[in-house]
Chain A
Amino acid sequence: EAGVTQFPSHSVIEKGQTVTLRCDPISGHDNLYWYRRVMGKEIKFLLHFVKESKQDESGMPNNRFLAERTGGTYSTLKVQPAELEDSGVYFCASSRVGLPETQYFGPGTRLLVL
C-alpha cells in the first residue's frame, strides 16, 4: 500500500508569491488533514476534509490560505500571497473514517518564504 505523498518536498519563494502544495492520501482514506510545524514548535492543525467536504478549517491562519479537495481524492493547499511567517513544514495526513483512527503522515513540504 502506497503511503501519503506530498509535492513538492521543498519550496523556496519570495514574499508576495504564490505557492501550491499537493497531497495525495492513501487510497481509500476519506479523512485528509493539513498540519504545519514552524521551527521548534508544535505541529499545528490547519484543517480536516472528509472526502471533498471541509469538516473543520478552524486552524487556517487567515484568508491567504485556501485548501481544496475536489473529487475527494488529492488535496491542494494554496498560499497567496505568501508572507515570511508562512515558512515551516506543511504535513498532510490521512486516515480511514472511524473513531478514532490512526493518522498516516506524508513526508511534508518544507516551505521557505524569503
Chain B
Amino acid sequence: GQQVMQIPQYQHVQEGEDFTTYCNSSTTLSNIQWYKQRPGGHPVFLIQLVKSGEVKKQKRLTFQFGEAKKNSSLHITATQTTDVGTYFCAGPLGNNFNKFYFGSGTKLNVKP
C-alpha cells in the first residue's frame, strides 16, 4: 500500500488566500523533498529537508519537517495564480536512499 500519504487531494482557493498541504509517512524518513508540477509539465524540485524540526522558507513558501521526521508540510502565504499546480512530497523509505516514494500530490487551483 501507499506509504507516503498526502492531503488534501485537491484545494481550490481564492487568490490571496493561504494554502497548506500535508505529507505523512508510515516510517521515519531520512529526508523529504518537495516538488511542484505545473499543468502539463513535469515535477520540478523545490526544496529538501533533512533535520528533525527543520523549517525552510522560499519567499511565500514555508516548508516544515516534523520532529519525528514522519511528516512534513508546505504552506503558501497569499497564493497567486502562478502557484497553480500539483505539489508532491517524496522521501526515501528503507535502506535505498535513492528510492523515493512520492505522495499522491495536492492539486492547487487558484481563482483570480
Contacts and interface: CB of A to CB of B under 8 A. Distances in A.
Q: Do A and B bind each other?
A: yes
B41 interface: yes
Given A105-B42, A107-B41, A43 B102 contact: yes
Interface residues of A, number: 27
Interface residues of B, number: 27
Nearest to B101: A45
B6 to A, nearest CB: 8
B85 interface: no
A43 B90 CA distance: 9
Interface in A55-114: 55-56, 58-59, 91, 93, 95, 99-108
A59 B48 CA distance: 23
Interface string B82-112: 0000001010100011111111110000000
A59 to B, nearest CB: 8
Contacts of B101: 42, 45
Contacts of A100: 30-31, 33, 48, 50, 92, 97-98
A102 B48 contact: yes
B43 interface: yes
B43 A91 contact: yes
Interface of A: 31, 33, 35, 40-45, 48, 55-56, 58-59, 91, 93, 95, 99-108
Interface of B: 2, 4, 6, 30-31, 33, 35, 41-45, 48, 50, 88, 90, 92, 96-105
